[in-house]
Amino acid sequence: MDVSMQGHEGTNREIKMAQRYYLYGVVEASDQRGWGAVGLERQAVSPIPFREIAAVVNPWTSDVVPATPENCLAHERVLSDLIKIQTVLPFEFGTIAPDVEAVSKLLRRNYSRFRRALDKLSGTVEVSVTASWHDMKVICEEVVKAHPMIATYKREIIRKPYDQTYQDRLRIGQIVAGALETKRHLEGEKLYNVLRKGVVGVCQAHRGEPLGENVIFTGAFLVKRRAYPDFERSLLELGSRYDSRVDFKYTDALPPYHFADLKIVV
């Protein structure tokens, strides 16, 4: 993001003119600077400071924010640009304050929480990673080979009329599903443990939730901003090691969504 210094007078004038504010997040702001960023509806993004923190906002004129692709992208773009240069505690999409006093009150009441979170997450970014099996046919063949009972059931099914094999087919489906889940867990933990080395924090974002058939794991990794290139390199190396077996998809540096843990009501 192109960061520019704005005069304090200009920033205050903009704040006084606005009736409502769209909130992106909270940052450290010891020098009340403005950003050359463009937010929702092409509005200029600026800080509303309290002590050495600030809310990142742009003027807004409505009580709601339509979840259009344009608005969602604008929200993500501002946070993505900010995280490149400083730590951000992100707010959920659609967070609106009715006036500047409400923003100041939010910062004042939650100052200690924001301060602790900023200190804890200082200099970090989040990277979301999804590991998936490349070819499910190959994986299923491995499962069948590792579980002779599946082959036994298949041989029994072949010898029976189709309309008499419902229970057998159901049983095979259960065995395969259980074997795949075990395989997913074991391979996922192995890959997950390799990636977690050297990072600040980890969070298996969808632990315990159903995943796509070929997804091994989806995780969020808290990485020092300066170490992001090294983490990216380790992902690429891991991908090369498992070439044609496991595919890795990962995000650019993100705000610490899974690590800030801030539930705020304006």
H or E stretch at 169: helix 166-195
Mean pLDDT score of the chain: 84
What pLDDT, on the 0 to 100 scale, is given for residue 171? 81
Give ranges for CATH 3.30.70 in the chain.
126-137+175-260
Q: What pLDDT shows up at residue 211?
A: 67
Q: Regarding beta strands 124-133 and 215-224, do their DSSP bridges make them parallel or antiparallel, or are they unpaired?
A: antiparallel
SS3 of 110-168: the string is: CHHHHHHHHHHHCCEEEEEEEEEECCHHHHHHHHHHHCHHHHHHHHHHHCCCHHHCHHH
Residues belonging to the chain: 266
Q: With cut-offs at 50, 70 and 90, classify the pLDDT of residue 120.
A: very high
pLDDT tens digits, one per residue of 211-229: 678 999 899 999 999 999 9
Q: What's the pLDDT at 226? A: 92
Pinpoint the alpha helices (H) of 18-135.
Answer: 69-83, 100-109, 111-121
In terms of phi and psi (left: phi > 0; alpha: psi -120 to 50; beta: otherwise), the region of 51 is left
Sign of CA dihedral 88, 35, 17, 7: positive
- Look up the pTM and report it: 0.79
pLDDT at 260: 84
Res 4: pLDDT: 33
Contacts (Cβ under 8 Å, ≥6 apart) of 98: 19, 20, 266
11-64: per-residue pLDDT in tens?
444 444 448 999 999 998 755 566 767 899 888 899 999 999 999 999 998 888
Kindly tell me if the per-residue pLDDT of 187 is higher than 60. Answer: yes
> pLDDT higher for 6 or 29?
29
2: number of CA atoms within 13 Å, CB side?
5
pLDDT of res. 6: 40
More confident residue, 8 or 198: 198
- Count the helices and strands in the chain (H runs, E runs): 9, 9
Helix (H, G, I), strand (E, B) or coil at 94: coil
Q: Would you state the pLDDT for residue 162?
A: 73
Class of 126-137+175-260 in CATH: alpha beta
Residue 168 has a pLDDT of: 76
